[in-house]
Structure 1
């Protein structure tokens, strides 16, 4: 908690994953930088809450620079409510915002399957699962996996793993693939499949059996390859 009137110019605040409550009358000018962490497991992040009767005036801020580190993001825990607001007020008028065109955001994220969108008007960050789009682009003509051996079967296996129930071994392994490069992902999938499955009209069913029967015994080996 911060209970005092405050003014600042060219200020950097490091919030981490903590909520800071503010009581008082404050204002910032020039550049205001907020370093925060967005925790996917907790569905929350570092933020400032302006208490009732207090005001924080950012109308004189020329650049509101938000630097967000995304952590603990898992395909199993992303949902429509995976979002957080960086600065909010308990009462209307508590926050006097900078124009939204002055808000600049940088997101440090190491999972290729997770994308973030930001609403500058409400200072709210949203997470979304984009795994299906990433797979399609990886295997599309000109993509990094378009011409690899056994590409059709590997793509189908990835799609089946993506569709597996949340919390399953297949879904968790698929989440780990988001931390890999496309070629590492393809190599790991090949090891999980073990058997070479020829393209056919029944490829989905066959691949489903292969992945389901082998994935549990191969998770340990997969994790070892990631270390």
Structure 2
């Protein structure tokens, strides 16, 4: 069972990174956005972009790619739990789609969120984070326990090998194209789940200026007269 223990520990580390990302974004929403009377288009764009990145990070986790398929093959004991996890995932996806559509409509009109909509928008962001945090909790408390007892030794060994290959492929993809999104480069691989603080909590315009300064430091200094 050492292989099973190693695999579950590795999956738990990934879960912890995802949880930190969700909690960090939830804190940002509660401490910043909820205190504003209105939200700008830049803030809406940032929130929806981060929401989608968090959803993608959750969807491409190793638990989704390797553990759940192996568990489905090993036993039917987890079917009800897996249905519940899928339901939670669907709820989170509905929030992403709804808010993204609303942000696109606001962009088309050239306006942000007024005072009457800020509360509903922030409530939706908070519910997204809460839903996925609930899913992570169920996976760790219930899914891992079923997997440990239901999956055989050879299957655990196969999962562990897939995790190692997964990490190697992600590292290679990042070395090949450092600035690219690993999800788009390697469709079946998940990007490392990072805390929101390292995902870059900045408004799009600020982020773009920072990127321009990094790429063209000499030109920008000359333009600024330094």
How high is the TM-score relative to the length of structure 1? Answer: 0.23
Q: Which has the higher contact order (CA 8 A, sep 6+)?
A: 2
Greater helix content: 2
- The structure carrying a bigger strand percent of its residues is 1
The TM-score, its normalising length taken from structure 2, stands at 0.23
